[in-house]
């Protein structure tokens, strides 16, 4: 419609601007707060509560939730060894988030790099990389997990490795498809006309454009990886005690589902809430990172959809 009249007031700082856009979407805002809380748990939880979380107390075994008689940490009940669930969930946040974030970051870094190469290099290189992606895609992830866990120690780092490898093709394919599209855009050609080198075009012109897409996938993948980690624990080839993750807690608690539901419920809820928050945040991000959609959030919360 009317040509937007460019307002002359100085644009507010990017951070403040995003904060304001976040405030405009109340659900995303709550999601962000929740994630921030989980992040704080992950950073400080193990230092503050590690003792409490691993202190066994067989008298508080499967202690019921919602009572304060054993202290605040038993608010969500106790597990099969009488360890306070609340403390364990807080402590487990670190491993859970480190695994998910590590796997997502690693697969995104490798996948995006390969995708950039596949999209920008010649046909042959691209084809080879795409076939590689096919191979990774069809490689049974469970077998990969067993191979890695057998040949290396079952550590957090190696679990990250397994999960990261299986997720590489997602980023690789997306990146390549986007690169193939973006490299044909006018502004890339404009840079070529200026004499920009290939590296410059990739990092200054193509990568910033596809980054929002990759970040959106990454947030969704974060949730996926947490669930995958939990499924591996269920099958007995995931993270091993005494390390704890939410996924492991759920899978350990599942045999008490009929007698002490809270063992599996709370960590499950933590997973669900975290993945939901990520999903919400990701749909917010899709809008916030898109200059043509951003106004919806900048209207100050009046949403028209």
Partner 1 sequence: MKHTTALAGLLLASTTLSPAMAQENTDVTVVLAEEVDLVEPCMATRSNIGRIVLQNISETLTELDVRGDKGLMPRLAESWEMTGEGTWRFHLREGVTFSDGTAFDAEDVKHSFERAGSDQITCEISRYYEGIEITPTVVDAQTIDFATEPAQPILPLLMSLLTIVPSETPIEFTRDPIGTGPFILSEWNPGQDIKLTRRDDYWGEAPEVSGATYLFRSDAAVRAAMVQTGEADIAPSISATDATDPALDFAYPNSETTYLRIDQNVAPLGDKRVREALNLALDREAFIGTILAEGTQIATAITPPTTLGWNPDVKAWPYDPEKARDLLAEAAADGVPVDTTISLIGRTGNFPGATEVFEAIQAMLSDVGFNVELQMVEVAEHEQYYSKPYVEDRPILVGAQHDNSRGDPVFSMYFKYHSDGRQAGFSDPKVDELIEAATAATGDERSALWSELFAYLHDEVVADVLLFHMVGHARVSERVDFTPTIATNSSLQLSEIGFK
Partner 2 sequence: MTEHLLEVRDLSVRFHTARGMVNAVNGISWHLDRGETLAILGESGSGKSVSASAIMNLIDCPPGEITSGQILFEGRDLLTLDAETRRDINGRRIAMIFQDPLSHLNPVYPVGWQIAEAGMAHGLPRAKARARTLQLLTRVGIPDPEAAMAKYPHQFSGGQRQRLMIAMALVLKPDILIADEPTTALDVTVQAEVLSLLEELQEETGMGLLLITHDLGVVAEAADRAVVMEGGRVVETGTPRDLYHGASHPYTRKLLAAAPGKGEMRQPDEAPAPILQVRGLEKSYGPFRALRGVDFDLRAGETLAVVGESGSGKSTVARLLLRLEEATGGSALWKGEDLLQKSPRQMAPLRRQLQMVFQDPTQSLAPHMSVFQIISEAWAIHPGILPKARWRARVAELLEQVGLRPEHAERHPHQFSGGQRQRIAIARALALEPELIICDEAVSALDVSIQAQVIDLLGKLRDELGLAFIFIAHDLPVVRDFADRVLVMQKGEIVEQGSVAQIFDAPQALYTQRLLAAGLDADPDVQADRRAARLALAK
Partner 3 sequence: MSSMLGKRAVSSFISLMVLIVLVFFLSRLTGDPAALYLPVDASEAMRDNFREIHGLNDPVLVQFTHYITDLVCFDFGDSLRKARPALEVVLDSFTWTLQLALITMALVSAAAIALGSLAAFHVGSWLDRLASGLSLIGASAPDFWIAIVGIVLFSVTLGWLPTSGTGTVWHWVLPIAVLFIRPFGLILQVVRGSMITALGSAYVKTARAKGVRNRPVIFVHTLRNAMLPVITVIGDQAAALLNGAVVVETIFGFPGVGKLMIDSILQRDFNVILAAIMVTALAIFLMNLLIDIAYALLDPRIRT
Q: Which residues bind partner 3 (CB under 8 A)?
A: 127, 131, 134-135, 138-140, 142-143, 146-147, 150-151, 223, 227, 230-231, 234-235, 237, 247, 250-251, 254, 257-258, 264, 268, 271-273, 275-276, 279-280, 305
Tokens of 29: 């805002």
Pick one of partner 1, partner 2, partner 3, none as the site partner of residue 138 (Cβ within 5 to 8 A by kind).
partner 3
**Cis geometry, peptide bond prior to residue 89 (ω within 30 degrees of 0):** no
Min separation Cβ 172 and partner 2, Å = 22
Cβ proximity of 277 and 32 under 8 Å = yes
- For position 83 contacting partner 2 by CB under 8 A, the verdict is no
Pick one of partner 2, partner 3, partner 1, none as the site partner of residue 68 (Cβ within 5 to 8 A by kind).
none
Distance CA 204, CA 150 (A): 42
Cβ proximity of 291 and 284 under 8 Å = no
Distance CA 303, CA 174 (A): 30
Give the residue, chosen from 190, 203, 255, 257, that forms a contact with partner 2 under the rule CB under 8 A: 190
Cβ proximity of 139 and 129 under 8 Å = no
Distance CA 237, CA 249 (A): 14
Tokens of 122: 């010649």
- For position 193 contacting partner 2 by CB under 8 A, the verdict is yes
- For position 304 contacting partner 2 by CB under 8 A, the verdict is yes
Tokens of 76: 């969500």
Per CB under 8 A, contacts with partner 2 among 5-24 are 5-6, 8, 11
Q: Summarize as ranges the residues that interact with partner 2 (CB under 8 A).
A: 1-6, 8, 11, 185-187, 189-197, 200, 204-205, 208-209, 291-292, 294-295, 298-299, 302, 304
């Amino acid at each position: 419609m009317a040509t937007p009249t460019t307002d002359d007031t100085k644009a507010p700082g990017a951070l403040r601007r995003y904060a304001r856009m976040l405030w405009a979407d109340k659900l995303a805002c709550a999601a962000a707060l929740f994630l921030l809380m989980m992040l704080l748990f992950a950073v400080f939880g193990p230092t503050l509560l590690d003792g409490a979380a691993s202190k066994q107390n067989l008298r508080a075994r499967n202690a019921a939730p919602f009572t304060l008689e054993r202290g605040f940490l038993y608010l969500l009940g106790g597990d099969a060894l009488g360890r306070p669930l609340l403390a364990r969930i807080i402590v487990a946040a670190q491993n859970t988030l480190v695994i998910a974030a590590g796997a997502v970051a690693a697969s995104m870094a490798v996948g995006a790099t390969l995708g950039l190469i596949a999209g920008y290099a010649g046909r042959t290189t691209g084809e080879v990389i795409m076939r590689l992606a096919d191979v990774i895609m069809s490689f049974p992830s469970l077998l990969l997990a067993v191979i890695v866990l057998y040949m290396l120690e079952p550590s957090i780092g190696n679990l990250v490795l397994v999960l990261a490898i299986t997720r590489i093709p997602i980023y690789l394919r997306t990146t390549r498809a986007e690169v193939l599209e973006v490299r044909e855009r006018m502004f890339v050609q404009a840079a070529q006309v200026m004499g920009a080198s290939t590296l410059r075009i990739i990092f200054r012109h193509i990568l910033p454009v596809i980054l929002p897409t990759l970040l959106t996938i990454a947030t969704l993948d974060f949730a996926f990886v947490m669930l995958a980690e939990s499924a591996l624990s269920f099958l007995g080839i995931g993270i091993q005690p005494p390390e704890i993750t939410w996924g492991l807690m759920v899978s350990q608690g599942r045999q008490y589902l009929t007698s002490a539901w809270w063992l599996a419920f709370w960590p499950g809820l933590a997973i669900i809430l975290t993945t939901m928050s990520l999903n919400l945040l990701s749909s917010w991000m899709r809008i916030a990172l898109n200059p043509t959609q951003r106004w919806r959030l900048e209207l100050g919360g009046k949403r028209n959809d």
